[in-house]
Amino acid sequence: MTIYLDYAATTPQDPAVTKYISDICQDTFGNPSSIHQQGRKSRALVEESRDRIARELGCLSKEIIFTSGGTEANNSIFMSLLGTKKNNRKKILIPATEHASVLEPVRRLTAFGYEIHNIPLNEHGNINREKLPGLIDDKTCLVSVMMVNNETGIVYPVAEISNLCRNRDVLFHTDAVQAFGRIDFSFDSLLADFITISAHKIYGPKGVGALVVRQGVPFFPVFYGGGQETNRRPGTENISGIAGFAKAVDLLSGHRDYQHVLKIRDYFETSLLNTFDQVKIIGKDTDRIPFISNAAFPGNKGDTILYQLDMAGINVSVGSACSSGSLSPSHVIQAMRLPQDIVESAVRFSFGRYSKIAEIDYLIQVLKRIIK
């Protein structure tokens, strides 16, 4: 038996997406930059896919830049700052709980004179709304706050932050990789300058994502050698990946999983709290999506729990899947300034479209044998 409870790392590709991609690979293989018939056919598919994704996001089609995923999209925003200096402003604000694809490029920018300031968190692990306004000054060029945290599921107040940034004439980016397809939002009403998303979090293919840049906002390309994506991201487009991305977006309207997953998450957390006296649900007292539940088991080690669950056929995580398989304690949980026994014993369980109550029952039985 294999039970998959790591939907925050990636989702299984929807069978309808797989079939669609297979058909595309057979029938639409021309280079979209070619002017012959096969090239025009591929170009039409790429642009049609862009339109479909734009409708779901609430943005203009021309605001979408296709990338290889969320990591490239996030990196591109920060590296773009090197070519689009805004009145020599060089202060960037981010919380320490951001994904590595935000934290690492931002650290790289310090070599070019940029100053990085952490946005403090409140006692619940969410953004400290009272302190953030005082951090934005005339030196601030960009604020970046993810929409939903990938390890705790905490929902950050990005609408409020984007309005604050707009009023201060400061660029705002939100990494919406964990939010897209799970909570409703519109790029147009959110007023963010940049949003990043990824296909494989919504039952689409891996290796394709998108960066949305608001019309009129400066964006300096990171790569060179081609005119694709209106000269903003060169290289032959991943036709089948982009088409599969659009297909996964189309299927969202028929698979709004929120209520199903909420039932699974609540059953899981209630079962945990009724079974283990010392268990702590991280972020329980703030706004969260139901798709992610991060639980700590004081007196145990998170990596040991992960190994033993894996041996029982249960797939979970102790942090972001993008940390090269690292089993080190989560930087997100550490940034929340929780006790060390909480940090070291935290395990991320994440749920999705195919999760079942029976799987949770089996998980609890296995945890009873593992937890001290």
Residue 260 CA, distance from chain mean position:
21
How far apart CA 25 and CA 20 sit, in angstroms, is 9
- CB atoms closer than 10 angstroms to residue 27: 10
Please choose, from the candidates 4, 7, 30, the residue with its C-alpha nearest in 3D space to the C-alpha of residue 291: 7
DSSP, residue by residue, 215-277: TTS----S--S--HHHHTS-S---HHHHHHHHHHHHHHTT---HHHHHHHHHHHHHHHHHH-T
Q: What is the CA radius of gyration of the chain?
A: 21
Eight-class DSSP state of 354: T
**What DSSP element (H or E) covers 294?**
strand 292-296
What amino acid positions are annotated as catalytic residues? 322
Query: Residues 351, 290: contact at Cβ < 8 Å?
Result: yes
Q: How many helical (H) and strand (E) elements, i.e. helices and strands, does the chain have? A: 14, 12
Please choose, from the candidates 153, 100, 106, 160, the residue with its C-alpha nearest in 3D space to the C-alpha of residue 132: 160
How far apart CA 222 and CA 217 sit, in angstroms, is 16
How far apart CA 173 and CA 158 sit, in angstroms, is 9
Strand, coil or helix: what is 362? helix
* Integer angstrom CA distances of residue 317 from 15, 129, 143: 25, 30, 29
Eight-class DSSP state of 9: T
How far apart CA 77 and CA 89 sit, in angstroms, is 15
Residue 77 CA, distance from chain mean position:
15
Helix, strand and coil in the chain, % to nearest 5: 40, 15, 45
How far apart CA 150 and CA 101 sit, in angstroms, is 12
How far apart CA 150 and CA 266 sit, in angstroms, is 18
